[in-house]
Amino acid sequence: MSLSTISLHDKQFAPYLTASQITAAVRELAAHINRDYAGKQPLFVAVLNGSFMFAADLLKEIQLPCEITFIRVSSYQGTSSTGTVREIMGLQEEVAGRDLIILEDIVDSGHTMKGLLEQLRAKNPASVEVATLFLKPECLQHQLDLRYIGLSIPNDFIVGYGLDYDGLGRNLPDVYSVV
């Protein structure tokens, strides 16, 4: 099936990645996590709102005993970063001594992830790793050790598969980039 250009608010978006390409990347990430965490019981920490589809699909492929929790953080006010990560919906679980895997839809500047890693490491987990579906390496402004990266992409604004443009587009199974 051929994908076509879509309109969201005042912008046009062209097809970028198909649902099958995304599924392949998610399965590959899950395979790496299954190997690396054999014999362990990780706690997945999904960052809302964007990672909900990625988290759901990834966990369907995880073949380990595991748990998942959800947090919501923000480092943006409007369209610019404040440089400070603030919890909107916080972590309820005790994480000391546990293996944590943060699930994020996209890492671009790295501001949010840097702050989140600092906050989680302060709670003394056994380990903290990041699994991100998308990474924009040319946007990264912090040195981050990202162990699990689904796809490295250019600095294009994308929507779909959990990512949105002012609230729209999260429900799309494919990913589109702004034209």
- Does the structure show a pLDDT above 60 at 79? no
Q: Report pTM.
A: 0.92
Model pLDDT, residue 131: 98
- Catalytic residues, by residue number, are 108
DSSP designation for 139: G
Q: CA angle at residue 49 from 117 to 25, to 5 degrees?
A: 75
Average pLDDT rounded to a whole number, residues 82-108: 86
Q: Are strands 127-135 and 99-107 parallel, antiparallel or unpaired?
A: parallel
The answer to whether residue 81 scores a pLDDT higher than 80 is no
- The ranges assigned to domains in the chain are 14-178
pLDDT at 49 over 70: yes
Instruction: Give the C-alpha separation, 61 to 169, whole Å.
Output: 24
pLDDT at position 83 = 62
The answer for residues whose C-beta is within 8 angstroms of residue 28's C-beta and 6 or more apart is: 150
Question: Which of the four CATH numbers 3.40.50.2020, 3.10.450.50, 3.10.20.520, 3.90.1170.50 does domain 14-178 have?
Answer: 3.40.50.2020
What is the rounded distance in angstroms from the CA atom of residue 28 to the CA atom of residue 95? 26
Flag whether pLDDT at 94 surpasses 70. yes
The average pLDDT across 64-74 equals 93
Is the pLDDT at 164 greater than 60? The verdict is yes
Residue-wise pLDDT tens digits, 6-35:
999 999 999 999 999 999 999 999 999 999
